[in-house]
């Protein structure tokens, strides 16, 4: 399977993708899932485009079909997401105010970054945990926390604790619903629908800002 086909399969036929990858790589599939959540949680220019919530849900549904082990999925994705957040935090601490000084938006969308900053200022340390459940903000919060000089140890406590809760909820929700025939037979459409809704929201937000 070529790289392009793997990427296409991930978004359009994710249940078959997980089954196929498990047949090919066995335990390495858990490492791949961890890497995906590293990129989704800690790399701001790839995170918004990866199916975090829906991938966890489908991984849980695959566990219901006996393809994967739910506890190993939770652990692998939690570790990947946690390390991703730590990486994002370190990048934010290193870049510091340079992140907010780039008004051209060449490297990062300043409006989204400012939203994450406002969210962080409003909720304090709890913002790190809350952001875990919000697509897009999830990828930017580590940068903001690092740039804001949040305590590194406290950040990681919030980060890994929220990652564990998030991964457990989404995986076992998928595991439970995966026993329902309608959900089991329409996983790909569920993923496509969720991604479409997120993209629609992003596009609508851009159009609204240009008009106003």
Cα-based torsion angle of the residue sequence 115, 116, 117, 119 in order, rounded to the nearest 10 degrees: 90
What pLDDT band is residue 136 in, cutting at 50, 70 and 90? Answer: confident
Give the dihedral sign, CA 201/158/46/175: negative
pLDDT in tens, 144-159: 888 888 889 999 999 9
Which tokens go with 97? Answer: 């105010």
pTM over 0.85: no
pLDDT on residue 146: 86
- Per residue in 155-197, pLDDT (tens digit) is 999 999 999 999 999 899 888 887 777 666 666 666 566 556 6
For 13-36, the three-class secondary structure string (H helix, E strand, C coil) is: CHHHHHHHHHHHHCCHHHHHHHHH
- pLDDT value for 127: 84
Q: Is 62 helix (H, G, I), strand (E, B) or coil?
A: helix
Instruction: Count Cβ atoms below 10 Å from residue 135 Cβ, excluding itself.
Output: 21
Instruction: Using alpha carbons, list the distances in angstroms from residue 36 to 33, 104, 118, 149.
Output: 5, 29, 27, 27
């Amino acid at each position: 399977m070529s790289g392009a086909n793997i990427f296409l399969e991930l978004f359009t036929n994710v249940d078959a993708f997980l089954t196929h990858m498990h047949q090919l790589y066995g335990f390495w599939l858990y490492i791949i899932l961890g890497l995906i959540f590293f990129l989704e949680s800690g790399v701001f220019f790839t995170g918004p485009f990866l199916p975090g919530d829906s991938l966890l849900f489908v991984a849980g549904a695959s566990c219901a079909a006996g393809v994967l082990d739910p506890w190993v999925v939770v652990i692998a994705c939690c570790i990947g997401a946690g390390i991703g957040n730590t990486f994002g935090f370190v990048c934010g601490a290193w870049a510091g105010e340079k992140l907010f000084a780039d008004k051209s938006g060449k490297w990062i969308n300043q409006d989204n970054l400012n939203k994450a900053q406002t969210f962080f200022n409003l909720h304090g340390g709890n913002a790190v945990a809350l952001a875990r459940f919000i697509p897009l903000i999830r990828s930017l919060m580590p940068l903001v926390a690092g740039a804001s000089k949040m305590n590194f140890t406290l950040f990681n406590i919030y980060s890994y604790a929220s990652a564990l809760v998030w991964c457990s909820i989404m995986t076992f929700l998928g595991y439970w619903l995966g026993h329902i025939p309608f959900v089991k037979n329409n996983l790909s459409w569920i993923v496509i629908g969720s991604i479409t809704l997120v993209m629609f929201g992003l596009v609508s937000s851009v159009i609204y800002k240009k008009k106003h």
